[in-house]
Amino acid sequence: MLKQIAITGPGMTDFNIFDFEFFGIVANHKRATVSIGLQIVDTMVAQATSQVFYANSATSIVLELVHRFSREQPMHSHMSKVVETLISSLDEAEKWKKSNGGAISENTSTIKKGRTMRTLDATQTEQQTVALARKMRERLIVNFLKQVILFGIELVKEDVRT
């Protein structure tokens, strides 16, 4: 059925909404296995933590798969590794900020109140772009982790009730 999932490019912008519909259908298919689910989880985690426009769609597919295979040990261990990796990347981002004197200051914005835009040289613009991209990725990771943790709490409550 599904042998391999390939993502191209560092930004992974080759996805569109129809791809998420496809992965949602595969995730809910009666013949989908845990191994297929794990491949989809990896792909969707990459999208959820890097693409602002697709983060919610990708996260919902991950949560569907976690719910569907919640009683399977491979899903538990894989999600533990995913969460650990994402937390490590947040920790590395904090270390990078400390070693580089913090993120680009908000005071270096291009617009000042009551004044016209000032010109920034190319290096300042590039630094701001990199800082904004890092900040966005961090926020996407935190949002993904929050949703997974809250969903996990709900699964535990559901198991306790039954």
Angle at 137 between CA 28 and CA 62, to 5 degrees: 10
| The pLDDT of residue 96 | 83
Tokens at 53, concatenated: 């426009």
Tokens at 98, concatenated: 């400390």
Give the residue extent of every domain in the chain: 17-161
Q: What is the pLDDT along the chain (162 residues), one digit of tens a residue?
A: 555 555 555 544 578 888 999 999 999 999 999 999 999 999 999 999 999 999 999 999 999 999 999 899 999 999 999 999 999 999 998 888 888 765 454 444 444 454 555 555 777 888 888 888 899 999 999 999 999 999 988 888 887 777
| The pLDDT of residue 107 | 45
C-alpha–C-alpha distance, residues 59 and 51, integer Å: 11
Cβ atoms of 38 and 74 within 8 Å: the answer is yes
| The pLDDT of residue 120 | 58
C-alpha–C-alpha distance, residues 98 and 68, integer Å: 41
| The pLDDT of residue 111 | 47
Burial class (CB within 10 angstroms; exposed 0-12, middle 13-18, buried 19+) of 77: exposed
**Single-letter code of the amino acid located at 89:** S
Cβ atoms of 62 and 44 within 8 Å: the answer is yes
The CB-side HSE value for 144 (13 A sphere, CA atoms) comes to: 32
C-alpha–C-alpha distance, residues 64 and 61, integer Å: 5
Cβ atoms of 77 and 45 within 8 Å: the answer is no
**Single-letter code of the amino acid located at 22:** F
pTM comes to: 0.77
Give the largest CA-CA distance in the chain: 63
C-alpha–C-alpha distance, residues 132 and 74, integer Å: 35
